[in-house]
Structure 1
Amino acid sequence: MNTTPLAHLQVVECATFIAGPSCGLSLTQLGAEVIRVDLPGGGSDQLRWPLAHTGASLYWANLNKGKRSVVLDYRTPEGRELLLALCTRPGPGAGIFVDNMVGRHRVTHENLTDRRPDAISVHVLGFPDGRPGVDYTVNAAVGVPNMTGPGSSAEPVNHVLPAWDLLAGASAALGVLAAVSRREQTGAGSRLDIALADVALSAVGSMGWLAEAEQHGDRPAHGNHLFGSFGTDFAAADGRRVMVVALTEGQWRALCEVTGTAPVFAALETALETDLRHESERYRFRDTIASILRPWFAARTLDELTTQLDGARVLWGPYRSMSEAAATARADPGSVARPVDQPGIGEMLATGYPLRWEDHTSAPVPAPRLGADTEEVLAQSLGLTGNEIGRLHDLGVVACDPARTSG
């Protein structure tokens, strides 16, 4: 069974932060050769937090797992020529470029098609008109922070997960595969642009939130309650907290049975003239339902809740800290997270691709040192000699991994 279906693809990535690099990460975890190109000294995300105890970026190391690293100064004429040559090298799986470059040094789709008419380019940007934007500013503009947080506060609440960046990266990777398929069928190249603002707007629109706002006005924030059904958090006897959800009639019945509250809710239905088998009604009376269930949860520890809720097949999950999540993942032999020996950091818990191929998970591969593959890529892909690479190195056009060259 082949778990590297994209081994025939060669992608050049010239992108920083999350969206572009996460696109390349998905492609490389599915087998593609992804060459990340950085300026000498690294890109603007080279030392982005969080950092390892060595001072190296855990962020950079995890977003660039399995890629090859080439350092060249594409701001110089010779460096730009090398970048263009890499992006348009011959081969049925080559000629693919992913970037979020801006300014006068940007490599455009037209620059690529001048050399390779069937080139594929994916350009990541903030807004479709070229204005800058990042996940957190786009998220603010699309209205999500006003729907987040406690209902008692009128202030917007940001979330820490860069959802639009990650979704943009996944969409960009899908775009690459669609463009490759088109090229294989027609011989034509493709210019793709993906803006974070479009990704965010498309996503909230797909969930009906835009239509909801036009028809009913803005949805208020309401804390940890699940919108449109029943779901909220409860405190356990030992101070731990759990999230409990009842989307379906079966899940609601299981929750009532395990907590022994079925008679109480039957009486409540009669008194309120409602039917809690319908999730809309469970949402309508969410506060009342939570107040009835809360004492049952408060009388039991997390271990006790785990046994009873799992046994009753209730839809629930414990709240964990990130360190607890890491420890749980490390202890799980079937987890997509496994330790790797990362250059410059040491042992690091990293993750492979989340898609399971017939129960098989791909092991994470360490990220390269910055510039670790410069010499090899320039020699193998562009046919440069050692003397030519040495000259470019002396001119500051390219840079290699010091750890490799010192050896």
Structure 2
Amino acid sequence: MSERTQPPPAARAATETPAETPAVAPAPAPAATGPLAGLRVLELGQLIAGPFAGKTLADFGAEVVKIEPPGDGDPLRRWRMLHEGTSVWWQVQSRGKHSVVADLRTPEGRDDVRRLAAEADVLIENFKPGAMEKWGLGPDVLMADNPGLIVLRISGYGQSGPYRDLPGFAVVAEAMGGLRHLMGEPGRPPVRAGVSLGDTLAALHGVIGVLLALQARSRSVSAEAPKGRGQVVDVALYESVFNCMESLLPEYAAFGAVRQPAGSALPGIAPSNAYRCADGQAVIGGNGDSIFRRLMQAIGRDDLAADPTLADNAGRAARADALDAAITAWTVQRPVAEVVAVLQAAQVPAGRIYTVADIAADPHYAARGMLQTAHTPDGLALQVPGVVPRLDGTPGAIGRPAPTLGQDTAAVHARWLGRPAAAVRDETDGVA
């Protein structure tokens, strides 16, 4: 929710239709702006990968209906630091969404999901392969009801191949995709980034796949397919990581080179590293030809700036350790702020290493709208990340706050399926 949006009351009604109304006409869709306004997305699955994809679509105007199991809902509601029993992470991951309770263990819950899927444009799921088929909700069934449906399936290893049935989390995907081996110091055990990169990379690849499938669907509209033809988007966590591994595979194929961890350096590209300063560290990227010359001049090493053997990256990479030593001899005598100021004035990419406290106080983050305010149901104000990417013509925006469990069950059933709200309340035993 942006700062312009007032927080809703803590006990907002799930629907505005009076309980005594015997029938209800479908309510209009919630007002939304953005390039995906009018797009209906049904989000199944839990935790990170599928819900992050749903969050991204919601940020750009899609109406995202999140299916949650009764009782506790998505486990992410209780992950990491909690406020009044709910994770503050929830306010980011589920912003802009509508929560509908359905128990996929029961025929009634599965029937509700199938009927909602018949009204959707996109369905997102990140269950283990075969789970949707076991419930009678596989793409063949859903797309028979709704031929224009796009089904985004995110899993550890994909929907095919010898590993498809293995459980897969981001930690395993990052290892199998080649990333974990490169993280850390030479000769030391590999480390992880501290966030679930495999999940978020898979989610973003999933969003790309959905947008591509929507484009293809729009081109396949015909008398036989008035909405166009849907398709399955199959995203594997390990493949999403592997897709970002740059030259890793062709270097092995051509030269038998197995890249090794290099700490904060960038192997084969120099100078680019984190450098000790008098009061901390600064990161410096001096690996462009003209940038390198400016860097050397800024640190008083005109001799290196003029050295013809260092005029291109190949020569610099061969002497990376010596260049790092020359830079460190200059940075270690100065505080981080001075190092960054001198190098930025010389048009050399440099910066300090931010903590979240630095991010929250940074004027550039604020000026770019990356520090937004959300409110929990009891009114607690939270800083949350803004919307990425930025579109100047049809920008995204943070819409409604993250829902309470089942908050929208009755309203969505009424709007999508034309069902009486009172009947939905009775069936969900008051959850809505």
Q: What TM-score range do you get, normalising by the shorter chain? A: 0.7 to 0.9
Name the residue aligned to 1:279: 313
> What pairs with 1:8-407 in structure 2 (closer than 5 Å)?
8-40=38-70, 41-49=72-80, 51-89=81-119, 94-102=120-128, 103=131, 104-105=134-135, 107-128=137-158, 129-153=164-188, 155-186=189-220, 187-204=228-245, 207-214=246-253, 215-229=255-269, 230-237=271-278, 239-264=279-304, 266=306, 269=307, 275-328=309-362, 332-343=366-377, 346-358=380-392, 362-365=396-399, 366-394=401-429, 399-400=431-432
Deviations 1:358-406 (A, max 9, x none): 3996443431222221121112211121331132023xxx722xxxxxx
The residue matched to 2:232 in structure 1 has which SS? strand
Query: Using the alignment, how far apart are the partners of 2:250 and 2:35 within structure 1?
Result: 39
Name the residue aligned to 1:405: none
Question: How many residues in Structure 1 have an aligned counterpart in Structure 2?
Answer: 381
Q: What is the Cα deviation at residue 283 of structure 1?
A: 2.1
Change (3 A) 1:349 1:56: same
Decide whether the 8 Å contact of 2:265 with 2:273 is kept in 1.
Answer: yes
Q: Which amino acid aligns with 1:44?
A: P
The residue matched to 1:121 in structure 2 has which SS? strand
- The structure showing larger relative contact order (alpha-carbon pairs under 8 Å, at least 6 residues apart) is 2
Q: Which amino acid aligns with 1:101?
A: F
Query: Using the alignment, how far apart are the partners of 2:94 and 2:233 within structure 1?
Result: 22
Specify every segment of 5 or more residues in structure 2 that has no aligned partner in the other structure, as ranges: 1-31, 159-163, 221-227
Q: What is the Cα deviation at residue 106 of structure 1?
A: 6.5
Per residue, is there more helix in 1 or in 2? 1
Change (3 A) 1:251 1:161: farther
Please report the TM-score for the alignment, with normalisation by the length of structure 2. Answer: 0.82
Q: What is the Cα deviation at residue 45 of structure 1?
A: 2.5
Specify every segment of 5 or more residues in structure 1 that has no aligned partner in the other structure, as ranges: 401-407
Name the residue aligned to 2:15: none
Please report the TM-score for the alignment, with normalisation by the length of structure 1. Answer: 0.87
Decide whether the 8 Å contact of 1:66 with 1:367 is kept in 2.
Answer: yes
Q: What is the Cα deviation at residue 335 of structure 1?
A: 3.1
Q: Which moved more, 1:192-201 or 1:28-37?
A: 192-201
Q: What is the Cα deviation at residue 105 of structure 1?
A: 3.0
Decide whether the 8 Å contact of 1:21 with 1:63 is kept in 2.
Answer: yes
Considering only aligned residues, what root-mean-square deviation do their CA atoms show, in Å? 2.3
Query: Using the alignment, how far apart are the partners of 2:100 and 2:83 within structure 1?
Result: 25
Q: Following TM superposition, where does structure 1 have runs of at least 4 consecutive aligned residues deviating by more than 4 angstroms?
A: 359-363
Name the residue aligned to 2:13: none
Instruction: Give the % identical residues.
Output: 27
